Amino acid sequence: MGQIVFIPRELDPNEPRVAASPETVKRLAGLGFDVIVEKGAGLGSRIPDQDFAAVGAAIGKATDASKADVVLKVRRPTDAELKGYKSGAAVIAIMDPYGNDAAVAAMAKAGITAFSMEFMPRITRAQVMDVLSSQANLAGYQAVIDAAAEYDRALPMMMTAAGTVPAAKTFIMGVGVAGLQAIATARRLGAVVTATDVRPAVKEQVQSLGAKFLAVEDEEFKAAETAGGYAKEMSKEYQAKQAALTAEHIAKQDIVITTALIPGRPAPKLVSAAMVASMKPGSVIVDLAVERGGNVEGAVPGRVVTTENGVKIVGHLNVPGRVAASASLLYAKNLYAFLETMVDKTTKTLAIKRDDELVKATMLTDAGQVVHPAFAKAGEEPRTEPAAIPATTLVADAADAKPAAKKKAAAKPKGTA
């Protein structure tokens, strides 16, 4: 009997995704693993048990996790799940460790070797393992679909004998993977799209998709990207100038989609209550960062809120899970590609190379210890996340800056749209 890979049914009622597909189960068997899939694990992603069984998986129960050498999951294991894992098992999932030091410490105590897929380095060999990109891509698509569902008008311009329907004006804030897909989807649906980001490299990408770029293009903007391709946190002064530039723009928009996240920190506040109040009745805002504190004041996790002036703020949780059938197929391939790098092809057994750059970047716990440097003191000194700069502060700063801009033309925020 070979080593066992276990695919559980996710316990979170808001998580319909699954960590395997019939294709990846077949390929795992080809690597030499015996695969057990918990009964009903794939139902939320339109994968019935018989589809897994048809490619060689055994359909089991939750207690089968105790036999597994490898556990593939979507979400971080709960304390109850950890009690059912054998010591030394490799557990690969989206661990969401920031702000969850107690959970990281619990994984170390359980003796598992835990890998956090969202820490996968953005290098060429790891592109196929990049869960942030695969899931954000679908989140950006679904954000536009959700916005269109809440917006009670057509998105494209329509010229008819009875008159012309104007195209919806859509503004994308944050042009990472999710933002780029949101731009592409909104454009395909016929909306007029503008977008903003603090990273200068995305300007050409935005324009290549047929959207217009809006940003304060000063010296800080030119250096606003980390070596890993993520957005840096901008200074309060820059954020104030950007707020001044975008506040007027947002008031004219029909749909706003915010996607801004900073690794290890709460989501930055981009849209204040005052900006929301400036929008027309019937306008829609989709906050894709609501699970990390939100980019929009007034966004409520898991709810669609309608403000006093008739603006809908959409705060759906687990947006990739809203297209679970597609999201699971991509996520399963991400996991398989990573696990394959840790398999000895000769012995067909798990052989974790702890000096491999992918392993070092993603390994959270090992041999009873928290080994990732960002969480090394998780068990003794729980990490406190820094607070996000509130949008009310940014808008106040922006308002203070406007009179100066009138006195001196050079001080006016320079932007392109």
Q: Which two tokens stand for residue 291?
A: 């699970």
Tell me the C-alpha distance between 39 and 315, whole Å: 31
Give residue for tokens 């930055």. 268
Instruction: Judge whether 64 counts as a catalytic residue.
Output: no
**Cβ-Cβ contacts under 8 Å for 131 (sequence gap 6 or more):** 94, 117, 118, 120, 331, 334, 335
How is residue 137 annotated by DSSP?
H
Nearest Cα to Cα of residue 246 among 234, 264, 262 = 234
Angle formed at CA 151 by CA 268 and CA 15, multiple of 5 degrees: 60
Q: Are the C-beta atoms of residues 128 and 165 closer than 8 Å to each other?
A: no
Instruction: Judge whether 130 counts as a catalytic residue.
Output: yes
Residue 120: other Cβ atoms inside 10 A:
22
How is residue 190 annotated by DSSP?
T
Catalytic residue among 3, 116, 133, 326: 133
**Cβ-Cβ contacts under 8 Å for 137 (sequence gap 6 or more):** 177, 178, 181, 330
Instruction: Judge whether 133 counts as a catalytic residue.
Output: yes
Q: Which two tokens stand for residue 238?
A: 């820059």
Catalytic residue among 46, 69, 96, 122: 122
Q: Which two tokens stand for residue 96?
A: 């969401």
What are the residue ranges of helices labelled H in 73-215? 79-83, 101-109, 131-150, 177-188, 202-208
Instruction: Judge whether 230 counts as a catalytic residue.
Output: yes
Tell me the C-alpha distance between 37 and 35, whole Å: 7
Nearest Cα to Cα of residue 173 among 252, 277, 256 = 256
Catalytic residue among 87, 127, 208, 235: 127
Catalytic residue among 96, 230, 278, 383: 230
Catalytic residue among 34, 64, 101, 130: 130
Instruction: Judge whether 85 counts as a catalytic residue.
Output: no
Residues tagged active-site: 122, 127, 130, 133, 230
